[in-house]
Amino acid sequence: MNEKLIIFDTTLRDGEQAPGFSMNVDEKVKMAIQLERLGVDVIEAGFPISSPGDFEAVKRVADTVKDPAVAGLCRANKKDIEVGWEALKGAKRPRIHTFIATSDIHMKYKLKKDPEEVIEIARDAVKFARNLCDDVEFSAEDATRTNLDFLCKIVEVVIDAGASTVNIPDTVGYTVPREFEKIINTLLNKVPNIDKAIISVHCHNDLGLAVANSIAAVVAGARQVECTINGIGERAGNASLEEIVMALNVRKDEFNYVYTDINTKEIYRTSRLLTSITGVDVQPNKAIVGKNAFAHEAGIHQDGVLKERTTYEIMTPESVGFPSNKLVLGKHSGRHAFIERLRSLGYELSREQLEIAFAKFKELADKKKEVYDEDLEAIVENQMSKVREYYSLENLTIVSGVNAIPTATIELLKDDGNVIVDASIGDGPVDAAFKAIERIAGIQGRLKKYRINAVTAGKDAQGEVVVSVEFENSGFEITGKGYSTDIVVASARAYLHALNRYMNRKGNKKVLNDSI
């Protein structure tokens, strides 16, 4: 029978414990709202007793989200549980999550208690929590290094005490898939009341096996996985939510007995929100959400993807909300990808022009890690007829101030020798200058990107302005650069540079031989 796999997200609790990933209350609430949109079943919002801020965050999340259950982590003692319940009680679906360590090494050195004492503490904690809340989860910390007979015994006790979910954490990322599958199978076969609870797993990634171990547990019968966005968490992190979900989704032929309610198209957006909040990017080659996850540079791969995406993509970028795949142009790229990129930039070259441009591209690619669109534009325009400067800047006068309407008066020298003067107002001096240029040229542009760089040091530094403009709804962007110690002048020169390049492109357009 097709069974639901519960996705328990602990980004806001275990994930936040990683150095550099802490979040304030408002950030946690913002993240929780996105997790709800993603479709997670349980949000572990924090550790309420750990700090006033964590208490407030759990309370705010509990009061805000409606669909997911909201969990708060509590040690197995009355005080923790009382504080946890105070933070959680406003939730539509509150869950108290209590835990105690069960491995010999933890009981001996950390707790300094014998196994029977630990069982009694666990029983009492679950009973107390169950009197406050209908939904109680118990975790046996360091379960994968716990004596298996003892683990079975404590699981049976906490289920009798009222736990409806029992979590088997691989706290230090020690286990391997075959061993973990055996642990879950043993619990299912030896614990007499196991049918009254859901088995959950929480895997850490110290050996890089968190996702593999989580999936092995699902195969064995676990029906809740605890994970985080981007796999963040203590030390090497947790099992990655996006990797688990997409593994089950892509390989439905292997996992047709379970499903999740995750809206996979929200995965990339959720990942990006987390990196925006924490300021920590995922590594480029991170599965599912890394910037290279759907990027192809090798010529053979690029050619295959252009002919049929499934040759090298086992899922579509769109299926996880990724904007699109990307053909990275570098030294491994082939002619097919090169032509496609030129077409996307609006260039149509003759066979001879293409051969020269491709050779120049390969020469440049040997010197750079990645060849960007601006590089291609420079290469191609050098292969076309000499760039014609239709307009050049003769003079620019700006009126602007606190109570003044920004106005630009501009003089442009046309290539036929005539000087044309016009003026325009705008939202600011730069906008006014751009509009004046457009009035003279009779070509409308839409500014897509605008960047200022200091070329030299000091107060009198020369500024470089880089603009990307789409002219006449052409569908492609033209880059222009301008330099001056006056940023408004540099901006006008950059816009003129882009305009001249656009007019050159229109004048040099030729039909590309599709057979190339």
The predicted structure's pLDDT at residue 344? 64
Query: Is 284 a domain residue?
Result: no
Using one digit for the tens of pLDDT, what is the confidence trace for 159-182? Answer: 999 999 999 999 999 999 999 999
Give exposure, 226-242, as e/b (b: 16+ Cβ within 10 Å): bbbbbbbbbeebbbbbb
Local confidence band at 512 (pLDDT 50, 70, 90 cut-offs): very low
Residue 330 CA to residue 114 CA, distance in Å, equals 61
The answer to whether residues 349 and 485 belong to one domain is no
Residue 207 CA to residue 228 CA, distance in Å, equals 17
Say what percent of the chain tops pLDDT 90.
Answer: 64
**Alpha-carbon distance values, 343 to 280, 304, 361, 373 (Å):** 35, 18, 15, 11
Cβ–Cβ under 8 Å, residues 108 and 80 = no
Q: Which residues contact 418 (CB under 8 A, 6 or more apart)?
A: none
The answer to whether residues 302 and 271 belong to one domain is no
User: What rounded mean pLDDT belongs to the chain?
Assistant: 88
Strands 198-203 and 165-170: parallel
Q: Which residues contact 441 (CB under 8 A, 6 or more apart)?
A: 390, 391, 412, 499, 503
Cβ–Cβ under 8 Å, residues 53 and 85 = no
Q: Which of 351, 383, 415 is the last residue of a domain?
A: 383
Local confidence band at 480 (pLDDT 50, 70, 90 cut-offs): confident
Q: Which of 252, 278, 304 is the last residue of a domain?
A: 278
Q: What is the DSSP letter of 206?
A: T
The answer to whether residues 12 and 144 belong to one domain is yes
Query: Is 242 a domain residue?
Result: yes
The answer to whether residues 172 and 236 belong to one domain is yes
| Domain of 145, in residue numbers | 3-278
Q: If you average pLDDT over residues 468-476, what whole number do you get?
A: 87
The sign one gets for the Cα dihedral 252, 257, 260, 261 is: positive
60-69, 346-355, 390-399, range with the lowest pLDDT: 346-355
The answer to whether residues 435 and 376 belong to one domain is no
Q: Which among 151, 210, 200, 140 has a CA at the least distance from the CA of 175? A: 210
The answer to whether residues 365 and 495 belong to one domain is no
Residue 514 has pLDDT above 50, yes or no: no
How would you classify residue 514: left for phi > 0, otherwise alpha for psi between -120 and 50, otherwise beta? alpha
Q: Is residue 469 helix, strand or coil?
A: strand
Residue 403 CA to residue 426 CA, distance in Å, equals 14
Using one digit for the tens of pLDDT, what is the confidence trace for 197-215? Answer: 999 999 999 999 999 999 9
Query: Is 285 a domain residue?
Result: no
Query: Is 428 a domain residue?
Result: yes
The answer to whether residues 214 and 332 belong to one domain is no
Integer Rg of the chain from CA: 30
The answer to whether residues 107 and 234 belong to one domain is yes
The answer to whether residues 123 and 229 belong to one domain is yes
Domain count, the chain: 3
Give strand pairing partners of 484.
463
Query: Is 513 a domain residue?
Result: no
Residue 430 CA to residue 394 CA, distance in Å, equals 16
The answer to whether residues 301 and 403 belong to one domain is no
Q: If you average pLDDT over residues 255-264, what whole number do you get?
A: 96
3-class secondary structure per residue, 63-119:
HHCCCCEEEEEEECCHHHHHHHHHHHCCCCCEEEEEEEECCHHHHHHHHCCCHHHHH
The answer to whether residues 402 and 436 belong to one domain is yes
The answer to whether residues 372 and 443 belong to one domain is no
